[in-house]
Structure 1
Amino acid sequence: MRISLLIFSLCSTVSFAQSTSPTASSLDDTLQLNEVVVRGYATNRRLLETPASIGLLTRRDLNQRFGTPTLVPALNTLPGVRADERSPGSYRLAIRGSAIRSPFGVRNVKAYWNELPLTDAGGNTPLNALDVRALGRIEVIKGPSGSLYGAGTGGTILFSGLSVPANQTNVEVSGLAGSYGLLGNGVAVQTGKNNSAIAINYNHLRSDGYRDQSALVRDNVSLIGSFGVTEKRTISVLGLYSDLHYQTPGGLTEAQYQADPRASRPATRTLPGSAEQQAGIYQKLGYLGLSHEYRWNDRIQNTTVLYGSTTDFANPFITNYEKRADQGIGGRTITQIRLPNGPLPTTFTVGAELLRNFTVDRNFGNRRGVADTIQTDEELTARQSTLFVQAETQLPAHFRLTAGLSRNDVRYGFQRFPTRALNAQPAQILTRNFTPVWLPRVALLRTFGQNVSGFASISTGYSAPSSQEIRPSAGGFNNTLNPERGTNYEVGLRGSALRSRLRFDITAYQFQLRETIVRRSDAAGAEFFVNAGRTNQRGLEAQLSYDLLSPSSLSAQPSLVSLLRFWNSLTLTNYRFRDYQQGTADLSNKRLPGVAPATYVTGLDAETRVGLYAHVTYQFLNPFPLNDANTIQSAPIQLLQATLGFRRSLGKHWLLDLYASGDNLLNRTYSLGYDLNALGNRYYNAAPLRNGIAGARVSVKW
């Protein structure tokens, strides 16, 4: 879903049960850059032939490099991507700086699971309902991708589950334990027979938390099935259920953060503290999606998906207690027509997406974690529709042209009901229908031989306010908030050299955004949102990896080491406001808060044929502003993580994987997610000091 540079992650996902040697089993087989196939923009082509910046995470990146069972550390290895976890389970995701709109949750990012939309009609993505242990692959398209994926200026994420081996059954049992009361276990069953494949995953995780009032309990169940009904027809199913509860300790001022970073937000003269009010999130989410793929012939195929979702949400906060029930329904259809034999071979992609959500939202008083007198009773309806078409044409002289266009329509309906019989006012009925917009994208790519390509693209972005921005926690219906609009200019170069041992991916872009949406908070800490004029966002993203041992030499003369890779990820940004007036203060040319001017991530991956493996990751972030006025700066972040493990096949059927992982090995006090523009200067959410995890996986196949 976003555009990025590739480094170490130039691998493809294969079954966990497959082995690269008789004694050890690797999570992935390393492929050369010109072999990696991506699904972004429906190309299903080699990354080298895809005119977009796409970051790729495989199962090795998601489930081996880091012991912590969350998406956060793996996503943070990709340039241009920043994932936060302000308290365990509370995720934020910024693609090219989009976290400016997200006090919590994932917004301004579209997410799909094999064409099934995970982002609802209100623009919210329940990232914390997914368990990283059930994922096999993630593609991140950076920047506006509305020509095919609809409204959004941040990017798009494409998820895939674990690969299921053909004609084989695999059962894996796992367990882990770590610092601060961390405990987890899981069971995964995969079976493939004839033309069907089924994967069932259950994962449990609990933690006491590093800070006061930061405990977490999470249970996830997923069911993925694919059935070849006929030679031309395939039906797939995705079922997800997540039961999540995490406590929210709240932000601290700098003085409180330095005095005791483990403390929760304390009480003031006018407001109670987080622990006293039992602040936290209770979220139960169910999702069921069906996919139908039909191939008329080798040139025409269609995929149509339908889904339904339900969410039961409760949030005891310092000043109120919110209870929300949400039902979502939607679908997407996409048809590809390939014309390979003309003078200009072309592939056409046409389709549509329709999403709808109905939300009942009630606010109560909060009496020490118990809902008290009702304060507001509201209903919100969100609708989002997208029509899209794309043409991809092979031109002479090794050029490839991609042109896409979509029409996006977002509508909200709001109704507030009286909560008191005495002097009750009639129900308020409000609507906000944004003018439909057309979003074009044009990209041109040229390959230079078999190992190098360059591309240039111009794309437009449009992001209507999400349902949590139209109806924020401060209450009411914000019918004055305008959508963001922007244009993105981008050039990129990727390729490999030295017999594919050296791989590089470099992208430079300029994104000009209008009506930028930023967060504000009132005296009680509840957020609301305003438009902040224009922003100019310039960036450079680069990934570089080098295999110290070449695959060819390894195959010719087998050695103890099967993989030894050094990789680097660099993000440079210059994001600034333009024409931004805040009261009497002119904030034009100030940096956007929450976006580091420089982020550098580097690491070393090693695997041996006897089963030992090791991963070391170092991350550095420059100081960055925490508010629009740039009067408060973060401290620099230095984070060292390492994992050491042993994986070995025991006979033909069994596989054992033991590992130990250390996080924040430099023992630095830092904040893994700041509260931007926080009232009262409560910006800080301390992450754990030096901590460790140990775990084991045992699998059997037959």
Structure 2
Amino acid sequence: MVQLSSMTKFYLLAITFSTSVLFSQKKDSATLISEVRIDAYKKPTSFITSTKSVSVVSQDLLNLNTPERLLESINQNAGSRMEERSPGSYRISVRGSSLRSPFGVRNVKVYLDDFILSDASGNTYFNVISPELINRIEIYKGPESGDFGAVTGGTLLLKTRNAENTSANLSTGSFGTFNQSIDFSKQLGKHFVQIFENYYQTDSYREQSAVKRKQIFLKDEFQYAGNAQLKAMVLLSDLEYQTPGGLTFEQMQNDRTQARQGTATIPGASQQNAGIRNKMILGGLANDWNITPKLSHFMLVQGSYVDFENPFITNFENRFESNFALRTHLNYQQNWQKVSAELRLGFEGGINDIFIKNFDNNKGIEGDPQNFDQLKSYSGFYFVSQKLNFNEKLFTDISLSLNSNSYEWEKIFPASENGKTKFKDQLLPNFGLTYLIGKGFSVRGKIGKGNSAPTNEEIRSSNQEFTLNLVPEYGWNKEIGLRKQFGNVLFAEANYFDFRMKDAIVRRQNERGQEFFVNSGETLQQGVEILLESKNFDLKNDFFNNFKFRFSGSFYDFKFKNYKQGENDFSGNDLTGVPKTTINSLLNFTFFNKLSVDYSHFHTSKMPLNDANTVLSDSNLIGNIQFRYPVEFEKTRLNLFVQIQNLYNTEYVLGFDINAFGNRFYNPAAKRNFLLGVKVEF
């Protein structure tokens, strides 16, 4: 049982009181939360009638982030969790899917507007994206193979700005943090153009954890005909961050700010200048063509190049990645008197080609060569999906995809060997149904199959060996959900899911800290997710003007099934790295018609840090607060803000190294820290 402090008890009491106040007030006329529209990758629908398990990260939630990460806004949604092992090193889990992610994003598909941020193997360099570029996020939980491809975790749709804006952002804070960005978006004749630039740096809380990121984003949406639009996009990112490494519990208690120390046989993180240097360019073209009022066609082509360096404690790795992707689909819509239908038929595929070079690491400088390898991954899926709307009461979303994954590998130095592997093609169905019981009240059900092949970094991980016996993980997901609008004041949602996964991919570490991956048998993942959100309520008071609140929570029971490791039988153990309970909240206040206050909390329960469940993390409650104040001039608006992160100065860990060799599980997060800045809108 988590012991709550007197401040927390007071906070919860305030929430209860505020809720009762809201229900005693008259309705306002703002748009109902249940009527929010989601894009669902060009299958728009209202939130209340969607068959999918989806969370929407609005601009209000995005305001919670510090300049370097999207962590606070993503973690305010039940079922999605962003972790920070060290600044710049992030991973995202959807319903526990970080089980196989030592860093980065795997088993979660990520799109940026119409374009595909994930490579063909399923790996995503999420940390190259500046949070200030993102205007909205849609998070789809569970398998969505009929539309988004073969993953068992979920899908993120990142949306950039779609309205005119000219602004500049400047902020500074603790640990030498500095952030600057410029955003220009404007309609120029038939072109909607966006130019975004960002520079960010920080020394960070721990030794060997400094970060620098430079980014430029260019977008042009050209309406070259009344029924056709061409979109072009270029993203250039230069990211460099140091990696301090994991600590034992005793080391963390002794000095939370230290980097991983050396031993008699292995040097430490600072000595080896451990870190990541990632230069990436992504560009693409997408064309929307409304052939007739009922028939349309979409086509996307894109390519990217990645220059990736990783001076690690035991080696210096260079990766040179070339990526190509294509997506195309036909859409047909038909409306009758009380029935409307939409049919989509399409294909998405990609190629990921990597040349990997490993050298000795001489204190951050390449030494003698160790291994040179080539790895090329191929993935693709054909899909058909159908949406039906019966009399604005019954909504169905049925899809089927045929998914294919394969790879070719070659050892170049010091040995010479090659081969290829093709995984069994998977036919993945998804069926969703929503029934609108009354205005603002719906019930939904969904069943679908997901499949997730090993990524390039799991097939050829940091132990420099090809793990050729890895196979895709797969499973069936079943869920039910309720969405209810109470008057025009409160929106509530509850979901229950049951996901059975086979051949789950999990991470291991050897004695040198190098990782490798194995299939772990079966998992049983069951859980409840809830959301409670109020309207922005006008209190009609000159002092205390507006108030709204938001609660979300996930309550999970994730277990290993039929899982043996050598002579150890871990069947029935809790799934590694997944907390049973997370509860998040956000209070928004407005005073004097000017001063906005965002007061947020994140509670995470204990979680097992190894498969044997012999080491558990501590539970924690983290509070953040932000003050925003606008200053108006004739043609300019200054938005001043101050953020206090980790308000209660809690000692906690924001990202663990699960199953770490030598019990080096811990990556301590910063204690109380500050950020202040200004956003200028012209």
State the TM-score bracket (shorter-chain normalisation): over 0.9
Alignment-derived partner of residue 94 in structure 2: 95
Q: Deviations along 1:638-679, whole A, 9 cap, x unmatched?
A: 10000001024322x211100000001111111110000000
What is the identity, as a one-letter code, of the residue corresponding to 1:645? R
Alignment-derived partner of residue 15 in structure 1: none
Relative distance call for 1:342 and 1:483 in structure 2 (3 A) is farther
Higher RCO (CA-CA < 8 Å; seq separation 6+): 1
Alignment-derived partner of residue 568 in structure 1: 551
> What does 1:299-378 correspond to in 2, within 5 Å?
299-341=294-336, 344-378=339-373
Alignment-derived partner of residue 575 in structure 2: 592
Matching of residue 540 in structure 1 with residue 528 in structure 2: yes
Cα distance in 2, alignment partners of residues 656 and 253 from structure 1: 45
Distance apart, 1:396 and its partner CA: 5.7
Cα distance in 1, alignment partners of residues 384 and 661 from structure 2: 45
Cα distance in 1, alignment partners of residues 337 and 418 from structure 2: 55
Relative distance call for 1:436 and 1:164 in structure 2 (3 A) is same
Cα distance in 2, alignment partners of residues 662 and 67 from structure 1: 10
Cα distance in 1, alignment partners of residues 536 and 276 from structure 2: 46
> What does 1:212-251 correspond to in 2, within 5 Å?
212-251=207-246
Relative distance call for 1:549 and 1:164 in structure 2 (3 A) is closer
> What does 1:270-281 correspond to in 2, within 5 Å?
270-281=265-276
Alignment-derived partner of residue 604 in structure 2: 621
Alignment-derived partner of residue 148 in structure 1: 147
**Is the CA contact 1:656–1:697 (under 8 Å) kept in the aligned structure 2?**
yes
Cα distance in 1, alignment partners of residues 497 and 257 from structure 2: 39
Relative distance call for 1:346 and 1:261 in structure 2 (3 A) is same
What is the identity, as a one-letter code, of the residue corresponding to 1:140? I
Query: Which of residues 644, 647, 664 is equivalent to 2:630?
Result: 647
Q: Deviations along 1:260-292, whole A, 9 cap, x unmatched?
A: 010000001110000000000000010001110
What is the identity, as a one-letter code, of the residue corresponding to 1:686? P
**Is the CA contact 1:363–1:376 (under 8 Å) kept in the aligned structure 2?**
yes
**Is the CA contact 2:85–2:654 (under 8 Å) kept in the aligned structure 1?**
yes
**Is the CA contact 1:620–1:636 (under 8 Å) kept in the aligned structure 2?**
yes
Structure 1 runs (4+) greater than 6 angstroms displaced: none
Matching of residue 257 in structure 1 with residue 228 in structure 2: no
Query: Which of residues 640, 661, 664 is equivalent to 1:682?
Result: 664
What is the identity, as a one-letter code, of the residue corresponding to 1:526? Q
Distance apart, 1:83 and its partner CA: 0.5
Alignment-derived partner of residue 183 in structure 1: 178
Alignment-derived partner of residue 484 in structure 1: 473
Cα distance in 2, alignment partners of residues 648 and 294 from structure 1: 44
What is the identity, as a one-letter code, of the residue corresponding to 2:157? L
What is the identity, as a one-letter code, of the residue corresponding to 1:605? N
What is the identity, as a one-letter code, of the residue corresponding to 1:172? S
Cα distance in 2, alignment partners of residues 127 and 548 from structure 1: 31
Cα distance in 1, alignment partners of residues 591 and 328 from structure 2: 45
Alignment-derived partner of residue 297 in structure 1: 292
Distance apart, 1:418 and its partner CA: 2.9
**Is the CA contact 1:175–1:695 (under 8 Å) kept in the aligned structure 2?**
yes
Distance apart, 1:53 and its partner CA: 1.1
Distance apart, 1:546 and its partner CA: 2.2
What is the identity, as a one-letter code, of the residue corresponding to 1:506? A
Q: Deviations along 1:378-402, whole A, 9 cap, x unmatched?
A: 1110111110000111236821122
Alignment-derived partner of residue 580 in structure 1: 563
What is the identity, as a one-letter code, of the residue corresponding to 1:610? N
Cα distance in 2, alignment partners of residues 673 and 87 from structure 1: 8
Q: Deviations along 1:69-119, whole A, 9 cap, x unmatched?
A: 411111111101110111111011110000010011110010112231111
Distance apart, 1:60 and its partner CA: 2.1
Alignment-derived partner of residue 523 in structure 1: 511
**What is the DSSP-based 3-state SS (H/G/I as helix, E as strand, rest coil) of the residue aligned with 2:611?**
coil
Distance apart, 1:454 and its partner CA: 1.0
Query: RMSD across aligned C-alpha pairs, in angstroms?
Result: 1.6
Distance apart, 1:344 and its partner CA: 4.0
TM-score of the aligned structures, taking structure 1 as reference length = 0.91
**What is the DSSP-based 3-state SS (H/G/I as helix, E as strand, rest coil) of the residue aligned with 1:269?**
coil
Q: Deviations along 1:354-391, whole A, 9 cap, x unmatched?
A: 10011000100011111101111111101111100001
Query: Which of residues 160, 166, 172 is equivalent to 1:171?
Result: 166
Alignment-derived partner of residue 40 in structure 1: 40
Alignment-derived partner of residue 11 in structure 1: none
**Is the CA contact 2:67–2:132 (under 8 Å) kept in the aligned structure 1?**
no
Alignment-derived partner of residue 10 in structure 1: none
Matching of residue 631 in structure 1 with residue 614 in structure 2: yes
Cα distance in 2, alignment partners of residues 392 and 274 from structure 1: 53
> What does 1:44-83 correspond to in 2, within 5 Å?
44-62=44-62, 64-83=63-82
What is the identity, as a one-letter code, of the residue corresponding to 1:580? Y
Uncovered stretches (5+) of structure 2, i.e. residues with no partner: 1-28
Query: Which of residues 624, 628, 641 is equivalent to 1:659?
Result: 641
Distance apart, 1:188 and its partner CA: 1.1
Q: Deviations along 1:490-544, whole A, 9 cap, x unmatched?
A: 001112112x210111111000000011000111111000011000000100010
> What does 1:414-563 correspond to in 2, within 5 Å?
414-419=409-414, 425=415, 427-498=416-487, 500-547=488-535, 549=537, 563=546
Uncovered stretches (5+) of structure 1, i.e. residues with no partner: 1-28, 420-424
> What does 1:394-405 correspond to in 2, within 5 Å?
394-395=389-390, 398-405=393-400
Distance apart, 1:33 and its partner CA: 2.1
Moved more, 186-195 or 350-359: 186-195
Moved more, 519-528 or 68-77: 68-77
What is the identity, as a one-letter code, of the residue corresponding to 1:357? N
**What is the DSSP-based 3-state SS (H/G/I as helix, E as strand, rest coil) of the residue aligned with 1:345?**
strand
Q: Deviations along 1:413-455, whole A, 9 cap, x unmatched?
A: 0011133xxxxx5x21111110111000011110122211110
Cα distance in 1, alignment partners of residues 334 and 439 from structure 2: 23
Query: Which of residues 692, 696, 701 is equivalent to 2:674?
Result: 692
Cα distance in 2, alignment partners of residues 291 and 559 from structure 1: 49
Cα distance in 1, alignment partners of residues 61 and 375 from structure 2: 39
**Is the CA contact 1:277–1:318 (under 8 Å) kept in the aligned structure 2?**
yes
Query: Which of residues 625, 629, 652 is equivalent to 1:670?
Result: 652
**Is the CA contact 2:557–2:580 (under 8 Å) kept in the aligned structure 1?**
yes
Cα distance in 2, alignment partners of residues 318 and 394 from structure 1: 57
Relative distance call for 1:41 and 1:310 in structure 2 (3 A) is closer
What is the identity, as a one-letter code, of the residue corresponding to 1:698? V
Alignment-derived partner of residue 205 in structure 2: 210
